[in-house]
């Protein structure tokens, strides 16, 4: 089964296939809005709720390149520490956030999720359709503004 590895210090997301080979590495971030109830995804191994396909949204424009979740939707983790709906997604490709850093794409703030690129989500979605995505290992993560 495949897995993801997020490194908060390196700001990378790596996809590893069932044979332990790296499929790709992309820029990713866990910058959260100052009003979010989850300040960062904790270090450790977390199982995914969505294993063979991302969760899609019915809200208009949510699953678009500039939408909240990117054109591929979100890959949700199983609920942890009272937080549900946290996952990995793209989005906000050309829309700066309102923080002092004015992040776009993977650097745009979230409500606790890990945001990555459209290219990453395309690759991950392709692999998970054939090789279910089991876990994400989070390391070196900390709160960023």
Question: How far is 28 from 3, CA to CA, in rounded Å?
Answer: 15
What CATH number is associated with residue 93? 2.40.440.10
pLDDT at position 145 over 50: no
| Other residues' Cβ atoms within 10 Å of the Cβ of residue 64 | 16
pLDDT digits (tens, 9 = 90+) for 59-94: 999 999 999 999 999 999 999 999 999 999 999 999
**Tokens 């100052």 appear where?**
34
Does the pLDDT of residue 121 top 50, yes or no? yes
DSSP per-residue letters across 96-140: --SSTT---GGGS-BSS-EEE-HHHHHHHHHHHTTS-EEEEEEES
Domain count, the chain: 1
- Find the domain containing 100 and state its range: 2-139
pLDDT at res. 104: 96
Q: Is residue 53 over pLDDT 60?
A: yes
Q: Is 53 among the domain residues?
A: yes
Q: Is residue 144 part of a domain?
A: no
What whole-number distance in Å separates Cα of residue 13 and Cα of residue 134?
Answer: 15
Q: Report yes or no on 61 lying in a domain.
A: yes
Q: DSSP state, 78? A: P
* 100 vs 32, residue with greater confidence: 32
Residues in the chain: 145
């Amino acid at each position: 089964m495949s897995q993801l590895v997020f490194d908060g210090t390196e700001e990378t997301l790596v996809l590893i296939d069932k044979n332990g080979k790296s499929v790709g590495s992309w820029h990713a971030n866990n910058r959260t809005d100052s009003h979010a109830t989850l300040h960062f995804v904790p270090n450790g191994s977390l199982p995914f709720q969505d294993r063979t396909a991302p969760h899609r949204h019915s809200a208009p424009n949510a699953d678009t390149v500039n939408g909240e979740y990117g054109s591929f939707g979100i890959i949700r983790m199983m609920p942890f520490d009272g937080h549900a709906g946290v996952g990995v997604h793209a989005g906000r490709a050309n829309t700066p956030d309102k923080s002092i850093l004015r992040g776009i794409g993977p650097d745009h703030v979230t409500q606790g999720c890990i945001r990555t690129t459209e290219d990453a989500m395309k690759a991950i979605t392709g692999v998970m359709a054939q090789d279910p995505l089991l876990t994400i290992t989070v390391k070196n993560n900390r709160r960023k503004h």
